[in-house]
Structure 1
Amino acid sequence: MRVGLRALTSRGRSFLASGLAALLMALLLGEHDLLRIGVLIVSLPLLAALVVTRTRYRLSCARRLDPPRTEVGGEATVTLRLENVTRLPTGLLLIEDTVPYALGARPRFVLDRVESKGIREIDYRVRSDLRGRFTIGPLSVRITDPFGLVELTRAFTISDTLVVTPQVVALPHVRLSGEWTGGGDSRTRSVAAAGDDDVAPREYRQGDDLRRVHWRSTARHGELMVRREEQQWQSRGALLLDTRRHAHRGEGPRSSFEVAVSAAASIGVHLAREGLGLRLVTDQGAEHLTDTGLSWSLLDTLAVVRNSPLRSLETGITALRQGGGDGLIVAVLGAMEPEEARELARLRHGSVTGVAVLLDVESWDVGDEGSAERHEAVRAVLAGSGWRIVRLPAGSSIASVWAEAAGKGRFALGSMGGAA
Structure 2
Amino acid sequence: MIRAALRGLTTRGRSFLAAAAAATLSAFVLGERELLQVAGLLAALPILAVVAVARTRYRLSCTRSVHPGRIQAGTAASVTLRLENLSRVPTGVLLLEEQLPPALGEPPRFVLDRLSSRQWSSVDYPIRVDVRGRYEIGPLTVRLSDPFGLCELTRSFTRTERIVVTPQVAPLQPIPLEGDRSGSSVSQPRSTASRGEDAATTREYRHGDDYRRVHWRSTARTGELMVRREEQPRESTGTVLLDARFAGHRGTGPASSLEWAVSAAASITCHLLRAGFDLHLVTDSGLDQSLSSGAGGENIALGLLAEVEASRIQSLGMALERFRHERDQLLVAIVGLLTPEECTRLAAARTGGTSIAVLIDSTAWASIPSAAKAEADRRYQENIGRLSAAGWRVMPARPGARISSLWVPSEPTSGPSTMHVPPAPGNGIRSNGFHGVSS
Higher relative contact order (CA 8 A, sep 6+): 2
Q: 1:329 — aligned with what?
A: 331
Say whether residues 1:314 and 2:317 are aligned partners. Answer: yes
Say whether residues 1:400 and 2:405 are aligned partners. Answer: yes
User: Take 1:134 and 1:200, find their aligned partners in 2: how far apart are those partners?
Assistant: 58
Aligned residues: 388
User: Take 2:273 and 2:142, find their aligned partners in 1: how far apart are those partners?
Assistant: 45
Structure 1 SS opposite 2:407 = helix
Which of 370, 379, 399 pairs up with 1:374? 379
Structure 1 SS opposite 2:171 = coil
Which of 385, 391, 413 pairs up with 2:396? 391
Amino acid at match of 1:279: H
Structure 2 SS opposite 1:288 = strand
1:7-406 equivalences in 2 (<5 Å): 7-16=8-17, 18=19, 40-56=41-57, 58-176=59-177, 190=184, 211=208, 233-289=234-290, 291=292, 293-322=296-325, 324=326, 327-350=329-352, 352-365=353-366, 367=369, 368-369=372-373, 370-403=375-408, 406=410
Q: 1:186 — aligned with what?
A: none
User: Take 1:256 and 1:56, find their aligned partners in 2: how far apart are those partners?
Assistant: 54
Report if aligned partners of 2:281, 2:291 keep a CA contact under 8 Å in 1: no
Shift in CA distance, 341/54, structure 1 to aligned 2, threshold 3 Å: same
Structure 2 SS opposite 1:285 = coil
Q: Is 4-13 or 33-42 further displaced after alignment? A: 33-42
Shift in CA distance, 253/5, structure 1 to aligned 2, threshold 3 Å: closer
Amino acid at match of 2:73: V
Report if aligned partners of 1:141, 1:155 keep a CA contact under 8 Å in 2: yes
**Normalization by structure 1: what TM-score?**
0.79
Shift in CA distance, 230/49, structure 1 to aligned 2, threshold 3 Å: farther
**Normalization by structure 2: what TM-score?**
0.76
User: Take 2:408 and 2:376, find their aligned partners in 1: how far apart are those partners?
Assistant: 25
Aligned-pair distance for 1:101? 0.8
Q: Is 34-43 or 76-85 further displaced after alignment? A: 34-43
User: Take 1:211 and 1:178, find their aligned partners in 2: how far apart are those partners?
Assistant: 41
Shift in CA distance, 362/16, structure 1 to aligned 2, threshold 3 Å: closer
Amino acid at match of 1:120: S
Q: Is 364-373 or 278-287 further displaced after alignment? A: 364-373
Structure 2 SS opposite 1:117 = coil
Residue deviations 1:351-402 (CA, integer Å, cap 9, x gap): x111001112343246333111111111122111111111112111011111
Report if aligned partners of 1:388, 1:407 keep a CA contact under 8 Å in 2: no
Shift in CA distance, 47/102, structure 1 to aligned 2, threshold 3 Å: same
Aligned-pair distance for 1:10? 2.8
Aligned-pair distance for 1:308? 1.3
Shift in CA distance, 25/338, structure 1 to aligned 2, threshold 3 Å: closer
Structure 2 SS opposite 1:396 = coil
Q: Structure 2: state its 5+ residue gaps.
A: 189-196, 215-227, 418-438
Shift in CA distance, 254/30, structure 1 to aligned 2, threshold 3 Å: closer
Report if aligned partners of 1:241, 1:261 keep a CA contact under 8 Å in 2: yes
Report if aligned partners of 2:238, 2:331 keep a CA contact under 8 Å in 1: yes
User: Take 1:389 and 1:131, find their aligned partners in 2: how far apart are those partners?
Assistant: 27
Aligned-pair distance for 1:268? 0.7
Structure 1 SS opposite 2:89 = coil
Report if aligned partners of 2:249, 2:363 keep a CA contact under 8 Å in 1: no
Aligned-pair distance for 1:403? 1.6
Report if aligned partners of 2:336, 2:360 keep a CA contact under 8 Å in 1: yes
User: Take 2:246 and 2:385, find their aligned partners in 1: how far apart are those partners?
Assistant: 24
Report if aligned partners of 1:4, 1:49 keep a CA contact under 8 Å in 2: yes
Amino acid at match of 1:76: A
Structure 2 SS opposite 1:349 = coil
Amino acid at match of 1:340: E
Q: 2:434 — aligned with what?
A: none
Amino acid at match of 2:265: A
Aligned-pair distance for 1:256? 1.3
Shift in CA distance, 26/362, structure 1 to aligned 2, threshold 3 Å: closer
Amino acid at match of 2:337: A
Shift in CA distance, 50/112, structure 1 to aligned 2, threshold 3 Å: farther
Q: 1:207 — aligned with what?
A: none
User: Take 2:202 and 2:88, find their aligned partners in 1: how far apart are those partners?
Assistant: 75
